[in-house]
Chains A and B, each alone.
Chain A
Amino acid sequence: MDTAPLHAPDAVRPAGWHGVVADWSSDQRSFKGASWGKVMMWIFLLSDTFIFGCFLLSYMSVRMSTTVPWPNPSEVFALEIAGTNFPLILIAIMTFVLISSSGTMAMAVNCAYRRDRGKTTALMLLTAVFGATFVGMQAFEWSKLIHEGVRPWENPWGAPQFGAAFFTITGFHGTHVTIGVIMLLIVARKVWRGDFDHERPGGLTGRRGRYEMVEIAGLYWHFVDLVWVFIFALFYLW
């Protein structure tokens, strides 16, 4: 049992603000109805929010305080396709790829709770492929900018802080996506082998495997997409 049980079979937990007070003032567990695994993932994601929040705040501070003009991201990340110049097109495609992966992940979680092993595995692998595509496009973008002379301390177009902010923010995000892809592959393998049907414990824990692990992996994956929403808006579009 991961969730805190009610004491009587016909008992109902209070909802709304009364529920918040009742849950937080109760014995043993504040988070009723959520397993500790899910709660720990949420708390980790909260801490990660602060990390990315601080990165974006640093970027905001250097951009606001420099007297040198900031490079125009719309032009820096433009791409020429068939003779036409598309502003920001690569970033737009990366955004759509990541959103697609979030959709397939949500579907995978849904299939997992219906114990559909085949579909869950397929959807998770598809999510991993989208994630790998995203990282590949980011590698392309990095090498393009490095060829054009962007360094963490200088660039040909304006404020030197542009490179530092770009490499730090997208680099940390890309690392998160890469770790996510690896995690997806591991969990997909577990689903395919039927570890969660047979409640087989994982390699690092004695706890029984369960389909909720797909949802917890999904939380991390959606968070990676969530961070990209903010990076896309605040770094690329601003």
Chain B
Amino acid sequence: MVEAQAGTSPTHEGQQHPIRVYLVVWGWLFVLSLFSYLVDYFHLQGMLRWGLILLFMTLKAGLIVAVFMHMAWERLALAYAILLPPLAVLVFAALMVIESDYTLWMRQTFLASGG
């Protein structure tokens, strides 16, 4: 009876996926890293630079978490429990941007020598 139940669980033997998937992702990670480096190499500036850096960063992070760490194949209950809390960091970042702008304004206004 116990054996019969164990046999019904498809994930019991762990995460088994074709090697091709890993190789394709591996290749993309190399290409995206090269692109990120080229952003610096060609001295791109302004919004284009930051946009591309963040785009390549997000794509790389997504590929690593989804495929290499198998999050794409885990049940949604686990995926949401792990992937949603880091959004709080973004809220924190927004708060600190406001705070930093305020600190900078204070320093520029009241400290002649800078901070």
Q: List residues of A whose CB falls within 8 A of some B CB.
A: 1, 3, 5-6, 9-11, 13, 15-17, 19-20, 23-24, 30-34, 39, 42-43, 45-46, 49-50, 53-54, 57, 60-61, 64-68, 74, 87-88, 92, 95-96, 99, 102-103, 105-107, 109-110, 113-114, 211-212, 215, 218-219, 222-223, 225-226, 229-230, 232-234, 236-238
Contact = CB atoms under 8 A, between A and B. Distances in A.
A92 B80 CA distance: 32
B57 interface: yes
A96 B33 contact: yes
A46 B85 contact: yes
Q: Across chains A and B, which 10 residue pairs bring their CB atoms closest together, nearest first?
A: A67-B114, A23-B77, A64-B100, A233-B57, A65-B103, A103-B26, A53-B89, A33-B11, A65-B100, A5-B5
Contacts of A218: 68-69
Interface of B: 2, 4-6, 8-17, 19, 22-23, 25-26, 29-30, 33, 36-37, 39-41, 43, 50, 53-54, 56-57, 60-61, 64-65, 67-70, 74-78, 80-82, 85-86, 89, 92-93, 96-97, 99-101, 103-104, 107-108, 111, 114-115
Contacts of B15: 109, 113, 215
Contact of A233 (B10, B36, B92): B36
Contacts of B65: 222, 226
The interface residues of chain B, by DSSP majority, are classed as helix
A24 B77 contact: yes
A73 B89 CA distance: 25
Contacts of B85: 46
A233 to B, nearest CB: 4
Contact of A113 (B2, B14, B56): B14
Contact of A57 (B23, B33, B82, B92): B92
Contact of A33 (B9, B30, B54, B93): B9
A65 B104 contact: yes
Contacts of B11: 3, 33-34
B96 A9 contact: no
A33 B15 CA distance: 10
B40 to A, nearest CB: 5
Given A49-B86, A66-B115, A87-B40, A211 B53 contact: no
Contacts of A11: 8
A102 B64 contact: yes
A9 B86 contact: no
Contact of B61 (A19, A88, A226): A226
